[in-house]
Amino acid sequence: MSPERYARIRTMLRMRQTDLTVCMEQVHKPHNLSAVIRSCDAVGIHRIHAVWEEQDRRVRAGTSGGSHHWVEVNSHDDIGQAIGHLKAQNMQVLVTNLSDSAVDFRDVDYTRPTAIILGQEKYGATDQAIALADQDIVIPMVGMVQSLNVSVAAALVLYEAQRQRQIAGLYDTQQLSEEECQRILFKGGHPILRKVCDRKGIPYPHIDEQGQIEADEQWWQRVQMSPEALASLEDED
């Protein structure tokens, strides 16, 4: 990894927002998934959540401009589990839904820990998601149609959140732990060695300020070993 790439990744990591996220509920069209992830990466979201069918538990490589490599995706079996997980992190849970109690999405305080539920393309959020959310939000529309594409709606809400957070200075202080930064630096800066480590079960090494790996001779020997030889060595330990 070049020093320039290291600096670029470090800059990105310093501005990642750990307490802003989205949860996609049965959003299944690949172009929508990719567009939402791209917007999340652009505004600095570190981790997103999704509830989807088993066959949809994937992000199509190459369709999100590589952003799927930088945004963590947590999968959940159902929306109740997902919202419970988000509320356990003291997040306000918003859902895009046209209702009598809905408020303009721009009237929400996004400097608070926030999760935004995005419903399925055709039917929107489920009744359960709406019941469990803290607040319905809407994007005002004066045309003949009543809704926007889910990825467009996500981008509008996320950029309002970014605007508020920038004014509040939330992008000025690093939120990610150094341990998490190190993991991402190795994963994104040394992808081939990362695959070797994952395959062999080898801990990730430390990355120095030039983007280079800091590891002892034993680590390098393990990387070069076959999985069978590595397993034999670990049995001896």
- Residue 212 C-beta-side C-alpha neighbours within 13 Å: 4
SS3 assignment, position 37? helix
How far, in Å, are 108, 141, 167, 195 from residue 105 at the CA level?
6, 12, 17, 41
Residue 149: other Cβ atoms inside 10 A: 13
Is 18 annotated as belonging to a binding site? no
Is 96 annotated as belonging to a binding site? yes
Is 192 annotated as belonging to a binding site? no
- Please give the torsion angle defined by the CA atoms of residues 164, 165, 166 and 171, in that order, rounded to the nearest 10 degrees: -170
How far, in Å, are 6, 25, 51 from residue 55 at the CA level?
35, 14, 12
Return binding residues: 96, 139, 148
Return binding residues for S-adenosyl-L-methionine: 96, 139, 148
